[in-house]
Amino acid sequence: MVTTSDSGLHARLAECAYRIRRNAIRMGEVQGQGYIAQALDIADVLAVAYGHALRYRAEDPEWEGRDRFLLSNGHYAIALYAALIEAGILPEEELETYGSDDSRLPMSGMASYTPGMEMSGGSLGQGLTIAVGRCLGLKRRGSDAFVYTLFSDGELDEGAVWEGIMSASHWQLDNLIGIVDVNNQQADGPSTQVMAFEPLVDKLQAFGWFVQRIDGNDLAAVIAAFDAARAHRGACPRMIVCDTKMGSGVPFLEAREKNHFIRVEAHEWQLALQALDAGRKA
């Protein structure tokens, strides 16, 4: 799967993750607010997805042979737009329209608005159920495309997620790769306190999934996990549990206590970009 040397791949994807973070911060600046901390925490995963793992054609986002990437947590749209810009599916200029009237980039991700957006998320806990249907539909057609679905640890509160987890195993959906972003932060506080979901790996394994748990901000680990998920030979669905850090890459945002929905002072956007650049050089 790796087309360049490991170090070359790593360097390329690190640059890709940096640009995704940068795109997201610039979009956040347009609105003065946003789910920036989540975009920063998931940037490494999206860099590996769009820079390495997914098959797609930037000029033809609906190409039948593409791997599908379903964003269940629609409030992460700013992160996915940042990745779709990096992937060449959206033009970079368009980020200045983020969240504005008549923009193709609304604040919550909707398939009907945005090229490359495969589902309308936002009502949490639906992505995995849709992914199950897409996997079944692709198998019906004899397609070998993968369906990836990204959802958040908070979505584990929703019963439908577990309906999806159980059925994916029942249907032996080896074309399904779930990615759960465990940043331990949801609207009312730490996810583990809102509703306990650990031990997550044990639960998923008991449901019959091939499960890997990684540091979602360790690029090498993310690359290895995506490769292993695709290469796994078992007739079962695959889950990558990603422990991530809210605000990753921008230390003063990482340090914020209430970072589910960040309000950033006007002068701080430039500081965030500077901090990101500093980390990149380091």
Interface positions with another protein (CB under 8 A): 110-112, 118-120, 122-123, 125-126, 128-138, 140-141, 143, 159-160, 163-164, 166-167, 170
Q: How far is the CB of 145 from another protein (least distance, A)?
A: 9
Sign of the C-alpha dihedral computed for residues 275, 182, 193 and 188 taken in this order: positive
CA atoms within 13 A on the CB side of 110: 9
Residue 186's DSSP bridge partners are 189
Q: How far is the CB of 112 from another protein (least distance, A)?
A: 6
- Among left, alpha and beta (phi > 0; psi -120 to 50; other), residue 122 is left
Q: How far is the CB of 164 from another protein (least distance, A)?
A: 6
Kindly give, in sequence order, each residue whose CB lies less than 8 Å from that of residue 171, ignoring residues fewer than 6 positions away.
Answer: 132, 135, 136
Residue 185 one-letter amino acid? Q
Q: How far is the CB of 165 from another protein (least distance, A)?
A: 10
Cβ(105)–Cβ(95) below 8 Å: yes
- Residue with Cβ nearer another protein (127 or 216): 127
Beta strands in the chain (DSSP E): 33-34, 68-71, 147-152, 176-182, 210-215, 238-243, 262-263
- Residue with Cβ nearer another protein (111 or 273): 111
- Residue with Cβ nearer another protein (79 or 119): 119
Q: How far is the CB of 113 from another protein (least distance, A)?
A: 11
- Residue with Cβ nearer another protein (9 or 135): 135
- Residue with Cβ nearer another protein (17 or 145): 145
Per the listing, tokens 């810009």 go with: 85
